[in-house]
Amino acid sequence: DSGPVARAAHDFGGLLDALADAACGMAASFKPQELTNMLWSYATLKQRHSRLFEVLGESAASRMAEFTPQGISQTVWSFAKLWSYKVWIYSGKGSKGAAPETCLGRSRAALLQAAVGAALPRLASFDPVSISALAWGFANLEVEDAPLLSAICQQATARPSAFDAASAAQLLWALAKLEEGVDREAISAMARRLTQLAAAGLAPQQLQYALGALGKLGPAGLGSGLGSVLCTCAAKAAPTLAPIKL
């Protein structure tokens, strides 16, 4: 990757390591938002600093009840962005169906458990972006949590019009990838919502999520005619997409 984010991470690698080491030494003094910001920043820069995520993850897990809905979802998103299921497997750190037996693996497991505990009683107050990011995090980590997904599905069916194209596509992808607690009506609600919004066009990332869900569930699984709409969107977007997106 030669994009600006990759170049910045390369140019300031030493500084990022020093900042991570300093943060590990003062994790207990961080406010919840500061913990989230630190993890989010390293995830966005694609800096897989194991010690940072282990230490700050443990601190976040112990204080998750203090986090805002956005803070909960962004913290889970940060772990999922860098430490997905595929990363664990390909690095030899874990196996499907089992939490990796490493300090970071235990930190991740504790953080996800704390996130569920903090999110479930307050999920009705989560905005659609936070709901979709939380679901995406669990899906990318391939962690099934039936009570959480059931509650997320209830929110999706109760207020589908609140979701914009980005949050609807992201949530649709997550629901297609997970199984336990997933309600087909929630999938249909997001598919119908995305069909409505796709008339104005979809951004490349939104299109990828939607096509990923289509590939997982098939046209019959999504219903609502979303498949044909996505084909039209893909044809229109093709000339502007980078080769890797195609």
Task: Convert the pLDDT of each residue in 11-34 to its tens digit.
Answer: 676 888 899 999 999 999 999 999
The Cα–Cα gap between 46 and 42 comes to 6
The Cα–Cα gap between 105 and 83 comes to 9
pLDDT of 227: 73
For 43-79, what is each residue's pLDDT tens digit? 999 888 889 999 999 999 999 999 999 999 999 999 9
The Cα–Cα gap between 198 and 74 comes to 26
DSSP state letters, 79-139:
HHHHS-HHHHHHTTS-BTTB--SSHHHHHHHHHHHHHHHHHGGGGGGS-HHHHHHHHHHHH
pLDDT of 244: 57
pLDDT of 29: 95
pLDDT of 82: 87
Give the distance between the most distant pair of CA atoms in the chain: 53
Q: Angle 103-119/50-62 helices, nearest 10 degrees?
A: 30
Single pTM value for the model: 0.84
pLDDT of 122: 97
The tokens describing 125, both together, are: 């107050």
Task: Please report, for the chain, how many H helices and E strands are present, in that order.
Answer: 13, 0
pLDDT of 37: 97
Low-confidence ranges of the chain (pLDDT < 70): 1-11, 13, 85-104, 220-224, 239, 241-246
